[in-house]
Structure 1
Amino acid sequence: MAYLHVFLSLICLSQAVLYDYSSTSVHILTSQNFDKQVTRRRDKWVSVIHFYKEKDSRSKIQAEEFNHFADEWQGVFIVGVVNCDTHYELCEAQDIREVPAIKVYPPFPAPVGVYEGEVTSKAISAYAAKFIPSYVIELSNENYQTFLEDKPAVPKVLLFTEKSSVPTLYKALSVAFESKMFFGIVRQEDTEAIKKFKIKQFPKILLYKTVDAKTTEYKGEIKYRSIFEWLNVHSETFVHGGTEESSSTKSWIVEALPQLHRLSADDICYKQEVLCGIFFLNSPPNDSLINTAKEVVNIIGKNKDRGVSVKFMWLDLSADKAFADKFEGVGAGNLVFLKYGKRSRFVLHGGDNAEAAIETTINKISGGDGKFINIKGNLPDLSFPKSNK
């Protein structure tokens, strides 16, 4: 019996994949999603891609460290992998002459380069960080007040630090919120700003809103994803053009499972870089479904960021039957994942509405295995929420 157990274990090990999309933080890239996830995002993002083969011994060694790199730096960089066994045409198109290979795709017009340094998370991140653009403003005793007062409706993020450089994750945050927030950095010697905000220890991150002179302190871990999520909550209560709209005016912005209707559609789906998870319901969602949506977003966002951002919402079938009819075969209780655009398409979630089943469907979509159905014609206008009719 013991021999059988060892034999079966060896079989499992031999069949294990280097990057399992159900348990890794890397983006699983294919011929179908490489252009969208990497090429089209070279306007301002840096991508670090590992090209590998499953049974290659060097690929296996590098994959272990590359997984660590993705866990630590996904979000700051786009960290992805391409299996050259199954996607050899993509590897050929990306001029991969030897496997394994790590390539860095910096923002245009900088050329794509092969990373030839030590394959460790620390070394790779140090190399790739050189290509991250920065929208961080150096603040001093002379200019900090001007920074705070400029465009009063735009939130200001301030990092107080003892270090002389701009942290990589802070530069990446300034890129992520480029059109929504202003980022400033205050050094230890800039005593006026330190005195104004009563800073006693470093590092410290504050969010300042000029319109009401309100300051909010970040108290979480100094990690990209945690800070991003904290800032995102605040940024979503502001709209472009310097006007502020509170969450009471646009309640759907902060709701875990908002209703999809004519007023909310742009904010939660149509004009967002998200996969729209739509529950088709005859009545508002119960607490259990709301908690499920919230937990799935937390899991995907914090631990399994592999090239897809998800926002959940619900559609009132009684009010928007014409909209629902565009999704063939979908009825009450179903969940679909919509990619909205010139050619809108969707994936029907085939399992139950439990966290694990929904997560599995999202993983398939992220890995390029989602079976999308094209929506014929344009989606009809949604109805107004009942209180606004």
Structure 2
Amino acid sequence: MAIQHVFLLLLVCALAEVYEKTNPNVFFLNSQNFDKHVTKKRDKHVSIVHFYRERDSKSKEWAEEINELAKDWQGVYNIAVVNCGANEGLCESQDVKTTPTIKVYPPFPAPVQIYDGEISSKSLNNYSSRFINSFVVELTEENYSTFLNEKPSMPKVILFTEKSGTPTLFKSLSLHFENKMLFGVAKPEDKGLVAKFKVKAYPKLVLYKTSDNKSFDYSGDLKFRGIFDWLNVYAETFVSGGTDAVLSVKPWMNQVVPQLTKQSADDICYKHEGFLCAILFLESAPEDSLTTIIKSLSDKYGSKKDRGADVKFMWLDVNTDRGYFESFEGTSIGQLVFLKHGKRNRYVAHDGKINLAEVSNTIEKIGGGDAKFVNIKGGLPELNMQKK
């Protein structure tokens, strides 16, 4: 009996997927989305792609390192995987001769690289970082005043560090916020700048708004996702002509699951071209357990995450906006829909449970072109104002 149990355990392990479909760290590529999320991003971004088969001899081991890399570096790189067993044509088109293979897709005109180094998250990061371009200015006593005062409407992001060079993470952020923010790196010897921003410890990250002569300190972990989300709030307010008061006037700009109302609609849905608006139909604000699920989904599919469809999540008060809710025919309270807003308003209703696995599956179907959209007859009604 013990031998039988051991055999069954080994069989289960052998049949386990290299990457679970609910994996929140990596992006799953296929022939429908490869060009959109790798080829077209080679204007300035770097992709790392693991080509594998479920039964090849090394991919389960390699997947551990890919996952480790993706936990902290997804966004700096577009870290993705392709199952060649299910995507033979795609692997042939990418000249994958054997599996497993890891390829690095740097910005054009550099050619695609076959990675043949040590399979570790650290080595992959070190190798791929050489391809990251940068718009970061190295600040000195001579140029920092010019940097702070040029383009007054554009926020300045300054990293104070004792280390030499510019961190890969900071270079990548400068690419993501190109034409929205200016990035600079400063050292302890830049005494005028250090004094102006009262730098007492390193590293320190500061956002500065020239027109108001105001600065904002970042207090989270110095990792890509946290910094990106923090900067993105300011990019959407300052760059659009707002002020530092916008965050209090527009609380939805900094909420995990904002309410869709007449005031918030443009900021969280209507003016985000190419995004899906994921709307929860509820009678009251989402509970903490639901918010936690949506936070995980937002981390996976939100702005600039490079994963399939780009999605912004929100909730609608069905009592306040009954007409709006009823325009999504056949849906019910508690359901989630994905709206494509534009000249033709269309939606896909999510029919499963609201959890990471099932909602991810619906989003992947939409991103892969396998979901059927329903047209909203007569257009969307006007939303009501949020109650004070």
TM-score by length of 1: 0.85
Paired with 1:165 and 1:348, the residues of 2 have a C-alpha distance of: 49
Query: Relative to 1, partners in 2 of residues 1:100 and 1:368: Cα closer, same or farther, differing over 3 Å?
Result: farther
Q: More deviation in 162-171 or 363-372?
A: 363-372
1:168-187 CA distances to partner (integer Å, 9 max, x unpaired)? 00011111222332211112
Distance change >3 Å, CA 23–CA 376, structure 1 → 2: closer
| 1:358 matched to 2:355 | yes
Contact 1:279 1:336 in 2 (8 A): yes
Residue 372 of structure 1 is matched in structure 2 by 371
Q: What is the CA–CA distance in structure 2 between the aligned matches of 1:255 and 1:60, rounded to whole Å?
A: 37
Asked if the contact 2:275/2:311 (under 8 Å) is kept, the reply is yes
In the alignment, the residues of structure 2 paired with residue 322 and residue 85 of structure 1 have an alpha-carbon distance, to the nearest angstrom, of 47
Structure 1 counterpart of 2:144: 144
Q: What's the TM-score once normalised by structure 2's chain length?
A: 0.86
Residue equivalent to 1:349:
350
Match in the other structure for 2:315: 314
Decide whether the 8 Å contact of 1:293 with 1:312 is kept in 2: no
Structure 1 unaligned blocks of 5 or more:
none
The corresponding residue for 1:252 is 252
CA shift in 2, pair 1:171/1:384, >3 Å = same
CA-based RMSD: 3.0
Read off the aligned partner of 1:330 and give its amino acid letter.
T
Q: Which residue of 2 aligns with 1:298?
A: 295
Could you say which residue in structure 2 is the equivalent of 1:279?
280
**What is the CA-CA distance between 1:194 and the residue it aligns to?**
1.2
Q: Which amino acid aligns with 2:56?
A: D
Which whole-Å deviations, capped at 9, do the CAs of 1:53-94 have from their partners, x for residues lacking one?
111103333222222222231111000000000111111122
Distance in structure 2 (CA, Å) of the matches to 1:102 and 1:193:
43
Query: 2:132 matched to which residue of 1?
Result: 132
Q: Tell me the residue number matched to 2:382.
A: 383
- Is the 8 Å Cα contact of residues 323 and 379 (structure 1) preserved in structure 2? no
Q: Which residue in the other structure is 1:335 paired with?
A: 336
Map 1:26-45 to 2 at 5 A: 26-45=26-45
For residues 277-327 of structure 1, what are the alpha-carbon distances to aligned partners after superposition, in whole Å with 9 as ceiling and x for unaligned? 20224x5x23xx153453124334558967155422223556766755564
Q: Which residue of 2 aligns with 1:53?
A: 53
Q: Number of aligned pairs? A: 379
Counterpart CA distance in 2 for 1:146 and 1:367 is 46
Range that drifts further, 171-180 or 80-89:
171-180
1:158–1:205 CA contact under 8 A, matched in 2: yes
* Unmatched segments (≥5 aa) in structure 2: none
Shift of 1:255: 3.2
Higher mean C-alpha deviation, range 208-217 or range 258-267: 258-267
Distance 1:378 1:46, change over 3 A: farther
Equivalent runs, 1:146-225 vs 2, <5 Å: 146-225=146-225
Cα deviation for residue 382 of structure 1 reads: 4.3
Q: Distance in 2 between matches of 1:159 and 1:316?
A: 41
